Chain A
């Protein structure tokens, strides 16, 4: 009996030991692998990331700034949506930025950021991004990481094929997703076919200041213009737009717009368009659209309504547009770094169609057309086809390039990224995404010089990938290492809003240009003050303007009397700090607006209309210093009929 127990004991000990050895071996293996991947995205505390990624917020209307490879979020730049945190669209200075021909609009759907270029390479001066719903293009200045200009696009609806830039940022493009009556009019939707039109807008960018202007619009047949990319190298001067709904259907589109075996990629010769403009072959059409500009020296935006736009009619002007038949409702329309290949991602198919620019030119020169659509020549599919990436996956959406001869395409339905070889069209590798990937981004992807180290895939659905947060869960971005033959999934991080598309750039190109403060002596705000000597309060009827300053750790003035119920009180607050990363904030009880968050040297304004008699405190809302809690003040509000004199002070007993 004893022996049996002993034997059993020894036996179980052996089993246990063996098992634990086994376990140790396994966990060591996976541990080593896991840490290897972790090291590739680990950016030590205090270290900087190698790339900036500007990731659009989709339905959030904003643009988020992340670092790669860490996936750390640095800033959410407010663009088309009001942001109470930064007072964007709430303070008096930035309200005009959200003005449109439809009035003030607090939201939009931001889709495709693109970074400015010089000679086909990223120059890191600006990021452009489109507003989808109420057609607009915004420009973000990469010295301040703030939106400094928004232009509305007239004769457009669903500004989706936007905002892609040409090789020298000559133009930012804006094509209509929805065709509409141009000009708008009251008509039956049933009369769509032949009467609704699309427009492709070319927004010029001033090379010095970056100011945007709708240079011209090309009037197109009533298809849906989905995405676009510019030519580069030999194809510089051309812009390519994918289209669907060449059926010109207007209802139950999921069926009716999916009937034609092929839709088109529209190749637009914008150099030719410039010639036509010079020759005066445009029509000037009355229009009404907002142009909003933020001036960094006055710290204020102004909104101007523009009243006309130049139109070139593609049906009437030969040589302006050609149509390249492309199978199955192409979505993404992507151009490789050499400018030779134009990829149509036929979203209802398993194949990618790649067109050749040089073959397209030959076909045009040989006038080998296969009919026309509303006077626009259609080229023969076989004449322009460079090749097909066959059976690569299900539902191809978008392609980017690594600059080393490979394309990377997302497949929405089969949730994967597929790597293929440009020229041989063979599939090299595929990796799953989690889940339903839309766009992908390689830094410099829309340029002659991609930085092909990482690809960022942006997913529409995450389901079980993170801790659940009720019915609404985050969307995500996934980072793959593409430096080797096979792709490797490194990181998976949640995003702000819908990470629709992104633009990436090596940090070294822009980080040294990032401003630290606004210089106080350059502050030209009409209600700003340069020092405490300018502090005052002025009353004009029931309009009261407080010229206030803030510096660690007080407001000047901090005691105000003589305000009355019914007054409209403007707090014009200047941050006198000239030190990096010392913003101050301010708000007061009952202000029907957001706080202000004011950077060093900047002036911002909020309006307060006191409704109740009393003494009401205001305070600094950004933890600024050791005496932040003491940074506060009082406003005495007297009845409307009172004659309390207007007084203000700081530090008086």
Chain B
């Protein structure tokens, strides 16, 4: 349980997610690491160069900061503290509760990420330099995939979780394991 509560804190060290854009004229692909509290260049100046590319199709600049950068870290710290308290004081049944809580929170985070991506890829400047349409005539969007790889015009976009996300997942699995271990240990006591 202790591990479970502490592992998500690695999110402050390692990126949560990464989006990489590949194209022939970028032998070193453009990449952006998404941290719990920041957007960072995979290689120096990548975000600036992604913005420069994207302004041709009217996409907004990737902001320096978004409100989530304050909410998410707070959420992680609070859940970790709760986890810690549970680890020392709590009963195993609460471990399951914490796990479910974390699953819900992570899902909400992912959904939020999806909404941002959708807005980023579809809410285009009407004065965009280049306008593309889908075969059905609708305005083409440039939303990167939530998870996986996708061709967007001349780029191939990859979006995958990073070390931070794996630590979060591992932490949650620890919780679940702690619940089952706790449950098995609890049974003989109950039987006495």
Which among A517, A578, A626 has the greatest number of chain B C-beta atoms within 10 A? A578
Give the top 4 A-B pairs by smallest Cβ distance, nearest first: A578-B45, A579-B49, A552-B52, A578-B48
Contact present for A627 and B129 (CB under 8 Å): yes
Write 17 A-B pairs (CB below 8 A) sorted by A numbering.
A517-B45, A551-B52, A552-B52, A577-B52, A578-B44, A578-B45, A578-B48, A578-B49, A579-B45, A579-B48, A579-B49, A579-B52, A580-B28, A626-B56, A626-B130, A627-B56, A627-B129
| 8 A Cβ contacts from B26-44 to A | 28, 44
| 8 A Cβ contacts from B79-111 to A | none
Query: Which residues on A sit within 8 Å (CB–CB) of B49?
Result: 578-579
Which A residue sits closest to B44, measured CB to CB?
A: A578
Closest beta carbon of chain B to A376's beta carbon, Å:
58
Query: Which residues on B sit within 8 Å (CB–CB) of A578?
Result: 44-45, 48-49
Query: Which residues on B sit within 8 Å (CB–CB) of A627?
Result: 56, 129
| 8 A Cβ contacts from B17-72 to A | 28, 44-45, 48-49, 52, 56
CA distance A627 to B128 in the complex (A): 12
How many residues of A sit at the interface, in one of the four size bands? under 10
CA distance A233 to B49 in the complex (A): 51
Query: Which residues on A sit within 8 Å (CB–CB) of B130?
Result: 626
CA distance A254 to B52 in the complex (A): 64
CA distance A579 to B30 in the complex (A): 10
Query: Which residues on B sit within 8 Å (CB–CB) of A517?
Result: 45
Query: Which residues on B sit within 8 Å (CB–CB) of A580?
Result: 28
Query: Which residues on A sit within 8 Å (CB–CB) of B52?
Result: 551-552, 577, 579
Closest beta carbon of chain A to B25's beta carbon, Å:
9
| 8 A Cβ contacts from A625-644 to B | 626-627
Chain B residues engaging chain A, CB cutoff 8 angstroms: 28, 44-45, 48-49, 52, 56, 129-130
| 8 A Cβ contacts from A577-630 to B | 577-580, 626-627
Query: Which residues on B sit within 8 Å (CB–CB) of A626?
Result: 56, 130
CA distance A287 to B49 in the complex (A): 52
Chain A residues engaging chain B, CB cutoff 8 angstroms: 517, 551-552, 577-580, 626-627
CA distance A374 to B93 in the complex (A): 105
CA distance A626 to B55 in the complex (A): 12
Closest beta carbon of chain B to A347's beta carbon, Å:
49
Closest beta carbon of chain A to B123's beta carbon, Å:
21
Closest beta carbon of chain B to A532's beta carbon, Å:
13
CA distance A578 to B49 in the complex (A): 7
Closest beta carbon of chain A to B131's beta carbon, Å:
13
CA distance A579 to B41 in the complex (A): 13
Closest beta carbon of chain A to B142's beta carbon, Å:
16
CA distance A577 to B130 in the complex (A): 21
Closest beta carbon of chain B to A582's beta carbon, Å:
9
CA distance A639 to B66 in the complex (A): 51
CA distance A577 to B48 in the complex (A): 9
Query: Which residues on A sit within 8 Å (CB–CB) of B56?
Result: 626-627
CA distance A552 to B49 in the complex (A): 10
CA distance A578 to B44 in the complex (A): 8
Closest beta carbon of chain A to B74's beta carbon, Å:
32
Closest beta carbon of chain A to B147's beta carbon, Å:
28
Closest beta carbon of chain A to B46's beta carbon, Å:
9
Which A residue sits closest to B45, measured CB to CB?
A: A578
Which B residue sits closest to A627, measured CB to CB?
A: B129
CA distance A517 to B48 in the complex (A): 14
Which A residue sits closest to B48, measured CB to CB?
A: A578
Query: Which residues on A sit within 8 Å (CB–CB) of B48?
Result: 578-579
Besides A552-B52, A580-B28, 7 more A-B contacts (Cβ < 8 Å) are A551-B52, A578-B45, A578-B48, A578-B49, A579-B45, A579-B52, A626-B130
Which A residue sits closest to B25, measured CB to CB?
A: A581
Which among A577, A580, A626 has the greatest number of chain B C-beta atoms within 10 A? A580
Closest beta carbon of chain B to A652's beta carbon, Å:
14
Which B residue sits closest to A519, measured CB to CB?
A: B44
Which A residue sits closest to B56, measured CB to CB?
A: A626
Query: Which residues on B sit within 8 Å (CB–CB) of A577?
Result: 52
CA distance A580 to B129 in the complex (A): 23
CA distance A578 to B56 in the complex (A): 17
CA distance A578 to B45 in the complex (A): 6
Closest beta carbon of chain A to B72's beta carbon, Å:
28
CA distance A52 to B28 in the complex (A): 23
CA distance A76 to B71 in the complex (A): 55
CA distance A440 to B45 in the complex (A): 44
Query: Which residues on B sit within 8 Å (CB–CB) of A579?
Result: 45, 48-49, 52
CA distance A418 to B191 in the complex (A): 99
CA distance A330 to B29 in the complex (A): 56
Which B residue sits closest to A630, measured CB to CB?
A: B129
Closest beta carbon of chain B to A75's beta carbon, Å:
19
Query: Which residues on A sit within 8 Å (CB–CB) of B129?
Result: 627
Closest beta carbon of chain B to A584's beta carbon, Å:
13
CA distance A551 to B49 in the complex (A): 11
Closest beta carbon of chain B to A629's beta carbon, Å:
12
